[in-house]
Amino acid sequence: MPKLTLRPRSTSGSTTPNQSPSAAPKAQGSVKAPGKPQGAKPYGAKPQGAKPYGAKPQGAKTQEPKSQGAKTQGPKGARPHGGKPQAKGPWARSNENGPKHNFFRKEVAADGKVKSFSTTQEERRTERHAERASAHSPDAAEGKVIALSPQSHSKMVKNSVGLAAGARSRAAAALIVDAVSDGVSLSEAFPRHLQGFDERDVSFIKEMVYGTLRQRRLLLNTLKPLFNYKITERHRIVQALLLVALYQLTFMRVPVHAVVAATVSACADIERKGFTSLVNAILRRFLREGGQLLHSDNEAIDYSFPDWLYTKLKESYPERCRDILQHSNEKAPLFLRVEQSKTTRDAQLAELAAAGINAQACALYSGAIELESALNVEHIPGFAQGRCTVQDLSAQLTAPLLDLESLPQGSRVLDCCCAPGGKSAHILDLNPGVSLTALDVDQNRLKSTQDTLARLGRTNVMLKALDATKLEELNGTFERILVDAPCSGTGVIRRHPDIKWLRRAKDIAALAQVQAAILDAAYEKLSPGGLLVYTTCSILPEENEAQVQAFLARHPEASLKAFTLGTQSYTTLQRLPGDDHGDGFFYARFVKPV
């Protein structure tokens, strides 16, 4: 065993002059510090002989090294990141010589893949505070980093179990709103993004989506001073998430802390985790400054309508424009149409009352019922059994205009644009003995008609996928023809708020051309003495009154046939959104001379 040489300890605690403790030579065979292998260099040590950064000149007085485990202070001038070299932490400089605000973050996802997120120095500073706060929470043991301010972190810990689902629902709503901005209709976007959610979550998501789209321009006007970013493809989904959050904070009865926490968490679900601190800061600033919507003197912004549509409505209905805007932004009521060939309205009302559902009969049509509040159709007595169906009051007024009761058995009736099948079913309810042909240009929409008719037990109908401008393929003529023409849908915006953002001004002229072509083709198939009903769910004159006058100019032998609704008689009728709680609809009837 080699001989040990022991160095006596100085009573003053000082070292040999001109020599620091770290630089003191070790005697051969000296005892090494426990726990470190022989020859191992200390973490971050410089190469042998290298002068340490910020070292004192030789001969300068140095301090006694601190005891093992104590925190040491780095050399003067050094700025360690949390006591460790910056390159070793989750955040690293993207370019050592680049701008100081460029950072990227590397994180390991659940699938083992490494993802990088860029952010600014200010965002990094904000998130560091959240990381430090979360380090003391129970979630820290599971590796979770909650990007909230320290003040709100405790609330999120308490609700961490429920927030996962809340974040997913907010993310789904944002993705759907963003899809509409991409030109995707809600009928396409909902099935794409609602998979895996239960009935309650679906209802909540739809409420957020419908409301955000109804109030979109007003919400954007409110967000603009808070989110001062040029909207790029990368930012747009974040903007949609913030709009959904603002709608909840201003229009829904959702706890404020739940909205903020779930929205912040949803950044990860929309793959924008780098915006977490920014979203948190924007929402908290909005609340700190009063949490109020920023209204505008511009009615188009305040009622969230595109400028072109607002201008058309103002020109067409100067006295009722504001009412139209207001009703178009309201939640639409739920109407039922009773299949009167199977039951009576009184019997249906009794079933509803027995189920605890408040409803009332509508005066304008003998089979119409309005529910006090909307609910899932699965809970409506008689719906699954085909004794009633959901149909707006204004839509229910269409089929009776065909005067079907006077037709003999086997009379031919044509529904040119039948999807989703509500009016076709109504025709067969009014006269089950007619021979009905129902057309639609879209095969998928024709399938919805088939489903509606099957649920109501209406099988005596011929369904055909056909363009209604090319009716020469059909044999013979028809005693009654319904043209429920494709239109702008401006009368049903409250049920389909995406219409406001999908329609363009140039679409109206193109739709008017299609409507005229369908009317001409249908009139050619109308039997002498037959009746043709023209209807749209639009409130724009170009598609309605102007269309009627243009048709009569092309076919001077045709004439309008008046009809009665309630106690009044009309040759044409334009109903606006909110009239008798119904949608906006237009009706006209043409007769072909014998």
Going by the DSSP 8-state scheme, the letter that residue 10 receives in this structure is P
Going by the DSSP 8-state scheme, the letter that residue 101 receives in this structure is T
The string of DSSP codes covering 298-338 is: -HHHHTT--HHHHHHHHHH-TTTHHHHHHHHTSPPPPEEEE
b (16+ CB within 10 A) / e for 177-208: bbbbbeeeebeebbeebbeebeeebeebbbbb
Segment holding 360, helix H or strand E: strand 359-361
Query: In sequence order, what are the residues at sequence separation of 6 or more whose Cβ sits closer than 8 angstroms to the Cβ of residue 35?
Result: none
Extract the runs of DSSP E, i.e. beta strands, from 49-147.
91-93, 103-108, 114-119
Rounded CA gap, 415 and 482, in Å?
A: 5
**Residue 388: active-site member:** no
Query: In sequence order, what are the residues at sequence separation of 6 or more whose Cβ sits closer than 8 angstroms to the Cβ of residue 499?
Result: 488, 489, 490, 492, 493
Residue 440 phi, psi (nearest 5)? -155, 145
CB 226 within 8 A of CB 286: yes
Residue ranges of the alpha helices (H) in 14-83? none
Q: Is 202 helix (H, G, I), strand (E, B) or coil?
A: helix
How many Cβ atoms sit within 10 Å of the Cβ of residue 301? 17
- Tokens read off for 498: 């995406």
Segment holding 216, helix H or strand E: helix 216-223
CB 170 within 8 A of CB 245: yes
Query: In sequence order, what are the residues at sequence separation of 6 or more whose Cβ sits closer than 8 angstroms to the Cβ of residue 9?
Result: none
CB 21 within 8 A of CB 15: yes
Rounded CA gap, 452 and 445, in Å?
A: 11
Rounded CA gap, 94 and 348, in Å?
A: 69
Region for residue 449 given its phi and psi (left: phi exceeds 0; alpha: psi -120 to 50; beta: otherwise): alpha
Closest CA to 390 of 350, 339, 428: 339
Going by the DSSP 8-state scheme, the letter that residue 273 receives in this structure is G
**What is the distance, to the nearest Å, from the Cα of residue 160 to the centroid of all Cα atoms in its chain?**
24
Closest CA to 361 of 331, 329, 393: 393
Query: Which residues form the catalytic set?
Result: 537
